[in-house]
Amino acid sequence: MKKFLLLIGCAIAISSLAQKTTTLGEDSPLRKLAIAQMAISNLYVDTVDNKKLTEDAIRGMLEKLDPHSSYFTPKEVKSFNEPLQGGFEGVGVQFNVLEDTLLVVQTINDGPSEKAGIIAGDRFVSVNDTAIAGVKMSKEEIMRRLRGPKGTKVKIGVKRAGIKDILSFVVVRDKIPLNTVEASYMIRPGVGYIRLSSFGATTPTEVTDAIKKMQSAGMQNLILDLQDNGGGYLQAAVQVLNELLEQHDLLVYTEGRTTRRQEYRARGNGIFRQGKVIVLVNEFTASAAEIVSGAIQDQDRGTIIGRRTFGKGLVQRPVDLPDGSMIRLTVAHYYTPSGRCIQKPYVKGNTKDYYMDVEKRYKHGELTNADSIHFADSLKFETLKKHRVVYGGGGVMPDYFVPLDTTIYTKYHRELAAKSVIINANLRFAEKNRKALIKKYGKEGTTENGEKSEGFTAFEQSYEVPQSFIKDIFAEGEKQGVKPKDDAEKEQTTKTLRRNLKALIARDLWSINEYFRIYNEDSDIVKCALQKIDEN
């Protein structure tokens, strides 16, 4: 009898809930969803978190759509937007965590920490009198404590080499820029090089400034490196293309089920409309970076070199929710000027398989052999001026294929890197030798004592990574059970380590720009680009 009464009570409760949603219409899917949510909230045997329940429902709906429609919590929205919006508010240091302690790799030029007197090599041991060293605090938690609104103060305890006592600094937080141009320099006489990490709000200005600076140094041809560039704002890609293409040239167009065709064309006021353009791409070049690559190729403005790009041709629109969370909903496809949709195929709801595509390419030999890549005739298009054949349906295929060199990094090297042996050894080396290196290769042209510095050029031409440094890495690897297969593997690893470590040391003494100046000299894709510029 009690069981019968309980069932009657549940039925009455659900009926009552259903009556509250009658304004949605008898057959409305939203009414069905609302009844389910209220039933769970009011009748479920255990207490439920309605907020999480709603978020799970949203995620569940989006997971059944395309791989790029997604939901972000308010915290995730902030983290997602920061790199694209061009900055955040904090203390202005680049750091790494070494042996459970934050080690300052660099201070941002003219940033809050530099103004306060903090220097590269300092170790942060406390923030506002709370210990952050030796307590196994996560990098994310350390960042949370250091960041804060512009104008607020944070007290930082610092351990500095050669000084016994803990130093105390009060840093006034400020806006810290996040640049998307990682490197820009004259790679050869008359040839400029720009490497872009993403397409954010500040990208067009950064690219324009870099081009102007290199033009004043005699740049006639440009290498635009979009390797590993995962994309960003479509408008940023359009503005970058505007600097390279002629008036009225079609750059990209978008179209969807409920969104009419929208075209983006060059205004004709770009600052680099003459001169050769080489675009470097690989399997991680995606989205906005593919818009730029596809437009340059379709308009026969330049040459694409590298490997087939990722293949993301979907446009997302942010839908802001009342609590600060956000849905990024796919609303359209984008098409290159010739009409190509470069979105690779996907099965709705199968996100894992979609993101495993690059690994499949590797296994099928597509990253090492151009003959392994096949396109259906139905995906064939022509460029707009020279009528060259190009293909849609899965990324941008470069004009010149450069295979992935699988022999550069040995298994021994990869294992050393995976156990953080290399990066930690580099941090220790930089900390120990920074003063001597700066004395000889000071970034400002003079040393602390006013003596002349040899500078980066001398470093690039003459510096050799000490063999003792390599031996220390191998010894640490052996302690952690990482050993080479044979002498040949050890010799190959040594060769690659010398180049990589020199680039890392250059980054620590100067910036990421100098890292790429060292690294690019051994890059097959960059070498191919320079060769094509010389040939034509």
Spatial contact of 299 and 279, defined as CB atoms under 8 Å apart: no
Integer-rounded Cα radius of gyration of the chain: 27
Candidates 81, 135, 125, 75; CA nearest to 103 is 125
What is 11-40 written as a DSSP string?
Answer: HHHHHHHHHTTGGG-TT-HHHHHHHHHHHH
Q: Are 492 and 405 in contact (CB under 8 A)?
A: no
Q: How far apart are CA 179 and CA 201, in angstroms?
A: 10
165 is catalytic: no
> Residue 206's closest CA among 161, 399, 214?
214
* Sequence-separated (6 or more) residues with CB below 8 Å from residue 402: 305, 306, 307, 524, 525, 528
The DSSP line for 371-383 is GG----GGGEEE-
Please state, as a whole number, how many other Cβ atoms lie within 10 Å of the Cβ of residue 509: 21
- In 3D space, the residue among 72, 53, 78, 83 whose CA is nearest the CA of residue 326 turns out to be 72
Between CA 146 and CA 75 the distance in angstroms is 16
Q: Give exposure, 397-422, as e/b (b: 16+ Cβ within 10 Å).
A: bbbebbebeeeebbebbebbeeeebb
Strand partners, 198: none
For residues 56 and 69, is the Cβ–Cβ distance under 8 A?
no
Task: Provide the total of helices (H) and of strands (E) in the chain, helices listed first.
Answer: 18, 21
Annotated catalytic residue 69 = no
| Gap between the Cα atoms of 35 and 25, Å rounded | 12
Contacts of 441 (CB under 8 A, 6+ apart): 453, 454, 455, 456, 458, 459, 463, 509
Q: What is the C-alpha separation between 95 and 122, in angstroms, rounded?
A: 10
Q: Catalytic residue, from 287, 325, 453, 511: name it.
A: 287
CA atoms within 13 A on the CB side of 19: 6
Residue with tokens 């930690």: 424
- 312, 344, 502, 532: the active-site residue: 312
Widest pairwise Cα distance in the chain: 98
Catalytic annotation present for 155: no
Catalytic residue (choose from 66, 225, 249, 298): 298
Contact indicator for 344, 357 with CB cutoff of 8 Å: yes
How many whole angstroms separate alpha carbon 424 and alpha carbon 417?
9
**Residues with catalytic roles:** 287, 298, 312
